[in-house]
Structure 1
Amino acid sequence: MRISYTVSMEKPQTHFFRVRIDVREVSDDHLDFTMPVWAPGSYLVRDFSRHVRSFRAVSTSDGRSLEVQRLDKSTWRVRTGMSREVSVEYEVYANEFTVDTSHLDASHGYFNGTSVLMYIEGYKDQSCELVIVPYGDWTVSTSLERIGENRFRAPSYDILADSPVEIGKHRVLSFTVQGKPHEIVIYGHGNEDEKRLVEDIGKIVEAFASMFGQLPYRKYTFIFHLVSPEVGSGGLEHLSSTTIDIDMFTFRPREKYIRFLSVVAHEFFHLWNVKRIRPSELGPFNYKQENYTNFLWIAEGFTNYYSYVALYRAGIISEKEYFEHIMESIRIHELLPGSRRVSAYESSFDAWIKLYKPTPNNYNSYISYYLKGEILGLILSIWIADVTNGQKSLDDLFRQLFEKYKKDGKGYGEKEILNTIQDVTNHDFTDFFRRYASNPGPIDFDSELAKIGVRIIRKYEKLGGTDEVERGYLGLVVRDAGGKYIVDGVLEGTPAYEAGINEGDELVAINGYRFTDRLLRPLRKENGKLKTDYLVDTRPGETVSVSVFRRDTLLTIDVTAATAPHDTFEPEISDDRSSRQYTLRNKVLRG
């Protein structure tokens, strides 16, 4: 059977892509066309079929309309009527500006395959062609193999759907690493420096190419959407490309730019971790329902770990900056009660109902596998370096996994990971998985980091040059909602939790004085949207009156402040190059 997709956009301002699927050499009495419900890499049921309209099917040879039956929310059955050539057409409303979905307006078109292109049941492994009919003088960028003007080939639906397409008047920058072409496709404008962007992304690619000794693709495409902060941000990995939505002014100051580069490194490393080295449950994909796995802490968390390691190896950040980032991750892990209740396995399995559908109770009942996995990636690398006397690190595990799984395409489970670590180290790491992955509970960060000569200094931020002092603390997570301070969550076991301050309460005043941003600090340094209470005028043990609006009723609740958790974690790094700790640290960071 021969399958060809054509995507056109006659009136982009209306947000509709028109899709035609031509099927030749048909031998079945019916064909089932299915729209996926989720996008691989983004673990949330999105029900893309809700954007489909005007589905119709005809016999190509004589123009006869064919019977169409809706089987479920995502599947249309076409009765072929013995026709050997069938054409299906439908429209997709594309007005969601995210990396997981599709967007079309007067400025550009973008689609992630699973949100626009249906597959034919039983024929996902069939090769296919994609033809793009761009609007006006727009151009097309994608990582798919080009076989003609705006004509591309994919060896299977999985590859087709895994190759996002940007259509418009975007800029294209290019560079080469190991003889492989790389494109940077940029939609929008901001404060970017194109020359620096090419140089720094090239350094990231070179760092990973050095780690693996090869680049397993023909060409790689970075698609960047420079957008307003209101649009939101995010990244999504693909086999030989990535799409990243970012604040158009993210390239300065340096702190914001480093965070952006870490996302680039994260998504790029996914071309090995997830796209070629994956949990067994994540392929072949079941596009019709959730695909559960216990190993997103490896698939996503270890990728997060390598994002900052790559920046260090590329010479973009210093060793101190790397450990400052790790200190912040450790601080958040110790702060959030959910980290002590949920294992890395549970965090991964519950991604479909918790990470992408957060509730205020997530702070107490969940911990992100990105956060936990990044920390465990570092600790596992330390363990590997420790038992091999600085001869091996996590790099060696990934090189071994890549060699093992690129041949047969099969995924891994716990047994396969443990066996591979055994092959690399000649040691059994069952205790690591039992202690840190399959069971919840605290992590002895001090002891683990001491192995590589790093000490955690927990302290309080100084205010206006004053001495470091303990401050009062209620245990609130707060978001600014258009000038209103809304309680986003209350941390379990804190004074606010025990006193009955609720998620959704609007904070109005403390001790009769208007509640302002002066009493808050960012929950994470790199994320100013969520903040924790920071009672600069209150000492532990003092009682404060908290005034809130709850469902438009004014309440005043007395709360006795506790001692605030340390808000600043700083690394103290040993500089003794003759020590074993330095040898291990050097192996972990440099590979």
Structure 2
Amino acid sequence: MKKPSQKKQSAIDYTIVPKDLAGHLFNVTVTVANPDPDGQVFALPAWIPGSYMIREFARNIVRIRAESGEGEARVVALTKLDKHAWRAAPTAGPLTLHYEVYAWDLSVRAAHLDQTHGFFNGTSVFLRVLGQETLAHRVDIQRPLDPSAKTWRVATAMPEAGARRYGFGVYAAANYDELIDHPVEMGDFELATFEAHGVAHDIVITGRVPNLDMARLQADLKAICETQIAFFEPETRRAPLGRYVFMTMAVGDGYGGLEHRASTALICARADLPSLATPKAAEPSEGYLRFLGLCSHEYFHTWNVKRIKPAVFAPYDLQAENYTPLLWLFEGFTSYYDDLMLVRAGIIGEATYLKLQAKTIGGVLRGSGRLKQSVADSSFDAWSKYYRQDENSPNAIISYYTKGSLIALAFDLTIRARTNGARSLDDIMLALWERYGRDFYNGAGRGVTEQEVEALFDEVSGLKLKSMFERYVRGTDDLPLAKLYAPLGVKLSDERKGGKVSLDAGIGRDPLGAKLTQVHEGGAAHQAGLSALDVVIAIDGLRVNGNPPNVDTLLARYRVGDRVTVHAFRRDELMAFDVTLQADRVPCIALSQAVAGRKSAAIKRPSAV
């Protein structure tokens, strides 16, 4: 007798319930209709795309069990294979895993749950069904029973599949990769929607923000989004998505963002958001500008890294490091364009833009690590160095974000100058989009290799740019920005005031005095034998305060070359150091318009320069 064939599963089904708000626990189930007959393996990702560090999210699974069958279920044995994965014993019919996830990481990378809100990335809560990742995935997001959550709503860019928009219920994704690329926020959040070139964009603000000027935020984000959409699709003005969500957690002090294909998760200081009580100004305040720059950065990632990807990210290996030497292109170039888009959108003027560039240049020149590590190596070592920085990092590494943005500037200025304005970095980005990004999620796209990137730069610009790659991308040379700026009438100068002395160390607070958070190579503290984490308690017999530190005030009475005695604790041992004071070595970079009426940099497309 022929056995009836097993019905093919159409989707992997999840439920997620905020079970214990005070205990920060999500209850999650995943049901597989057709588990692997040899024993189905489940694994939680070890990292989240966009944040390049192994985070071992599975450590937050508090307990887990498996059942099989419909109706009267029976227990199925689970064997843990490693720190991320479990195998269920072979079973016929539907297999369901029940597990609890501890969610108390208030960041954009993981999951957080309490009486004020719930938030999760799929990589933190949804076990992957190995071998069935390409199936459709559904998730039923259920309302918590806690009375404090009776008015909560749901915000996500994940398509509804039974749920009403902003409501609890069933949402759907085409596959596991899409499922984990739609973070979810739930709570009593502020909500506003605007359209950018015909596409709805939601603004979701969680956290208390008195007198939030949502109208200004809508107008500014609309200008930024429309500018970026038109940048990548100048003819069609077509966004690569049907809806976008800016989900923001406002806290007392915080900053960060993580990109997704149709949304971004952000965290910011509530003081950085615009207030109705603040008089309207021509340009944003420093804090608000920082927030808009963050939004611009993450939105630009919609194209650059979420669709234009390094080859090693297509697809991601979610259980191990994915090494690439190209993060300088995906993060650094995005860091270049985030502020540039604020200018092109009319949010800030040229003078403010130059100040932002000058600050970046000064930050890059501050650390001696720039002379030891290239941005290509920094990209490759992100997993072990950039995302695991310590007190010696300024002396050992370079940021592929900041120096990467200056490399983008150098390429842009070089291409514009050597083609007499006929080409620019914009053309490089558009070529990357057209060849590697536009059709990525349509099945026709693929990631780009390091060799293809370099060849494309030459092809599109019509120039030979290998020496720039060798010296500044794979090498550690300082960029000749003063020379590159000069033809545009911009002067780069270091405006350090003569005579100011410094220990040349990072200064932090400590109950006993001032903690040296970093000691810069070759500086006065280093030469005298002081080390990072030493706590300075006295300079020439005068007490050092730690809250706030008064080191600069005490040193202001001395001149370059003077010798002082510094007393400091190293662990629990008091030590004395003879310090010869040096001139402050912190760069104070300024960019100024030397020729009136000249465009300072790549403010507009070449045809408009």
TM-score (norm 2): 0.89
Which one of 128, 131, 144 corresponds to residue 158 of structure 2? 144
- Equivalence for 1:159: 178
The one-letter code matched in structure 1 to 2:344 is: R
Residues 590 and 143 of structure 1: is their aligned pair in 2 closer, same or farther, counting only changes over 3 Å?
farther
What's the offset of the Cα at 1:29? 3.1
- Equivalence for 2:451: 415
- Equivalence for 2:354: 323
Asked if 2 retains the 8 angstrom alpha-carbon contact of 1:520 and 1:534, the reply is: no
Give SS of 2:75's match.
coil
**How many angstroms apart in 1 are the aligned matches of 2:49 and 2:601?**
39
**How many angstroms apart in 1 are the aligned matches of 2:315 and 2:33?**
25
What's the offset of the Cα at 1:418? 1.7
| Structure-to-structure mapping, 1:335-350, within 5 angstroms | 335-350=366-381
Does 2:146 align with 1:122? no
**1:224-244 superposed Cα distances (whole Å, 9 cap, x missing partner):** 001122xx4311000000000
**How many angstroms apart in 2 are the aligned matches of 1:383 and 1:560?**
42
**How many angstroms apart in 1 are the aligned matches of 2:138 and 2:121?**
16
- Equivalence for 2:527: 498
- Equivalence for 2:262: 240
Residues 19 and 344 of structure 1: is their aligned pair in 2 closer, same or farther, counting only changes over 3 Å?
same
Does 2:605 align with 1:573? no
Farther off after superposition, 475-484 or 147-156: 475-484
**1:461-481 superposed Cα distances (whole Å, 9 cap, x missing partner):** xxxxxxx53222322112224
**1:64-110 superposed Cα distances (whole Å, 9 cap, x missing partner):** 211211111111111232x2211111110001111001001111110
Residues 10 and 494 of structure 1: is their aligned pair in 2 closer, same or farther, counting only changes over 3 Å?
closer
Asked if 1 retains the 8 angstrom alpha-carbon contact of 2:502 and 2:552, the reply is: no
| Structure-to-structure mapping, 1:276-295, within 5 angstroms | 276-295=307-326
Does 2:239 align with 1:220? no
**How many angstroms apart in 1 are the aligned matches of 2:607 and 2:266?**
26
What's the offset of the Cα at 1:554? 2.3
Farther off after superposition, 36-45 or 468-477: 468-477
- Equivalence for 1:178: 197
**How many angstroms apart in 1 are the aligned matches of 2:106 and 2:218?**
25
Asked if 2 retains the 8 angstrom alpha-carbon contact of 1:386 and 1:584, the reply is: no
Which one of 200, 203, 206 corresponds to residue 220 of structure 2? 200
Asked if 2 retains the 8 angstrom alpha-carbon contact of 1:108 and 1:169, the reply is: yes
Q: Which has more strand, going by share of residues? A: 1
Asked if 2 retains the 8 angstrom alpha-carbon contact of 1:31 and 1:121, the reply is: yes
Residues 127 and 95 of structure 1: is their aligned pair in 2 closer, same or farther, counting only changes over 3 Å?
same
**How many angstroms apart in 2 are the aligned matches of 1:263 and 1:585?**
19
Farther off after superposition, 145-154 or 245-254: 245-254
- Equivalence for 2:279: none
Residues 557 and 376 of structure 1: is their aligned pair in 2 closer, same or farther, counting only changes over 3 Å?
same
**1:335-356 superposed Cα distances (whole Å, 9 cap, x missing partner):** 2111111101111111111222
**How many angstroms apart in 1 are the aligned matches of 2:225 and 2:37?**
46
| Structure-to-structure mapping, 1:499-518, within 5 angstroms | 499-516=528-545
Asked if 1 retains the 8 angstrom alpha-carbon contact of 2:424 and 2:461, the reply is: no
**1:524-580 superposed Cα distances (whole Å, 9 cap, x missing partner):** xxxxxxx99994222211112222122222222111112222552221113454x7x
Give SS of 1:30's match.
coil
Does 2:301 align with 1:270? yes
Farther off after superposition, 561-570 or 286-295: 561-570
What's the offset of the Cα at 1:589? 12
- Equivalence for 2:278: none
What's the offset of the Cα at 1:516? 4.7
**How many angstroms apart in 1 are the aligned matches of 2:595 and 2:541?**
51
What's the offset of the Cα at 1:10? 2.8
The one-letter code matched in structure 2 to 1:245 is: I
| Structure-to-structure mapping, 1:177-576, within 5 angstroms | 177-191=196-210, 192-213=212-233, 214-229=238-253, 232-251=254-273, 254-406=285-437, 407=439, 408-460=444-496, 468-481=497-510, 484-516=513-545, 535-565=555-585, 567-576=587-596
The one-letter code matched in structure 1 to 2:241 is: Y
Identity %: 33
What's the offset of the Cα at 1:483? 7.4
**How many angstroms apart in 2 are the aligned matches of 1:165 and 1:452?**
46
**1:31-62 superposed Cα distances (whole Å, 9 cap, x missing partner):** 11100111110111111111112211111324
The one-letter code matched in structure 2 to 1:237 is: E
**1:132-155 superposed Cα distances (whole Å, 9 cap, x missing partner):** 002234221100111212211101
Farther off after superposition, 549-558 or 331-340: 549-558
Which one of 100, 103, 111 corresponds to residue 120 of structure 2? 111
What's the offset of the Cα at 1:390? 0.6
Which one of 97, 107, 111 corresponds to residue 106 of structure 2? 97
Farther off after superposition, 555-564 or 566-575: 566-575
**How many angstroms apart in 2 are the aligned matches of 1:206 and 1:484?**
50
Residues 68 and 212 of structure 1: is their aligned pair in 2 closer, same or farther, counting only changes over 3 Å?
same
The one-letter code matched in structure 1 to 2:467 is: D
The one-letter code matched in structure 2 to 1:24 is: A
Asked if 2 retains the 8 angstrom alpha-carbon contact of 1:181 and 1:220, the reply is: yes
**How many angstroms apart in 1 are the aligned matches of 2:123 and 2:602?**
44
Give SS of 1:305's match.
helix
**How many angstroms apart in 2 are the aligned matches of 1:104 and 1:585?**
43
| Structure-to-structure mapping, 1:47-58, within 5 angstroms | 47-58=56-67
**How many angstroms apart in 1 are the aligned matches of 2:74 and 2:601?**
74
**1:347-373 superposed Cα distances (whole Å, 9 cap, x missing partner):** 111111122211111111011111111
Residues 583 and 373 of structure 1: is their aligned pair in 2 closer, same or farther, counting only changes over 3 Å?
closer
**How many angstroms apart in 1 are the aligned matches of 2:24 and 2:200?**
32
TM-score (norm 1): 0.92
Residues 11 and 290 of structure 1: is their aligned pair in 2 closer, same or farther, counting only changes over 3 Å?
same
**How many angstroms apart in 1 are the aligned matches of 2:73 and 2:104?**
32
**How many angstroms apart in 2 are the aligned matches of 1:295 and 1:520?**
40
Asked if 2 retains the 8 angstrom alpha-carbon contact of 1:222 and 1:241, the reply is: yes
Residues 93 and 485 of structure 1: is their aligned pair in 2 closer, same or farther, counting only changes over 3 Å?
same
Which one of 15, 18, 41 corresponds to residue 24 of structure 2? 15
Asked if 2 retains the 8 angstrom alpha-carbon contact of 1:344 and 1:369, the reply is: yes
Residues 146 and 279 of structure 1: is their aligned pair in 2 closer, same or farther, counting only changes over 3 Å?
same
- Equivalence for 1:527: none
Residues 16 and 590 of structure 1: is their aligned pair in 2 closer, same or farther, counting only changes over 3 Å?
farther
Asked if 1 retains the 8 angstrom alpha-carbon contact of 2:513 and 2:544, the reply is: no
**How many angstroms apart in 1 are the aligned matches of 2:183 and 2:197?**
24
- Equivalence for 2:83: 73
**How many angstroms apart in 2 are the aligned matches of 1:205 and 1:570?**
29
- Structure 1 unaligned segments of length 5 or more: list them: 461-467, 522-530
The one-letter code matched in structure 2 to 1:181 is: A
**Structural RMSD (CA):** 2.2
Residues 151 and 484 of structure 1: is their aligned pair in 2 closer, same or farther, counting only changes over 3 Å?
farther
**1:301-327 superposed Cα distances (whole Å, 9 cap, x missing partner):** 111111110111111111111111111
